Structure 1
Amino acid sequence: MSLIEFIKNKVFWKHIGIISIVFISILILVFIGLNFYTRHGSEYQMPNIEGHFVDEMNEIEGMKNFELIVMDSIYTPGEHEGKIISQDPKEGAKVKKGRKVYVIVTSSKGENIPMPNCKDQSVRSAVNQLTNVGLRIGKFIFNIGDFNNVVVGQRYKGRSIDEGMEIQRGEEIDLVVEMNQERYTTDMPNIIGLTEPEAEKKLWEASLNVGNKEFEGKKDIIHSRVVSFYPNNTSVTKGTTISIKFMNDTKPSYKEKAKSFRMAEPVVVEESPTNQIIDDFE
Structure 2
Amino acid sequence: MNKFGAYLKTTAFRNTILLAIGAVIAVVLIAFFSLSFYTNHGEGIPVPQLKGLPANKAFDILKDQGFEYHVDSVYQLDKAPGSIIEQDPDAGTLVKQNRIIYLTMVSGLAPNISLPDVEQTQYISAVATLKNFGLKIDTTYRSDIARDMVLEIQFGGQVIKPGTKIPKGSTITLVLGDGAGASEVEIPDLVNQDLDAAKFVLHNSGLILGEIQYRGAITDSNNVIVVAQSPMKTDSAIKVSNGTRINLIVTQGKKSDGAN
Q: TM-score range by the shorter chain?
A: 0.3 to 0.5
- Normalised TM-score (structure 2): 0.45
Larger radius of gyration: 2
Q: TM-score, normalised by structure 1?
A: 0.42
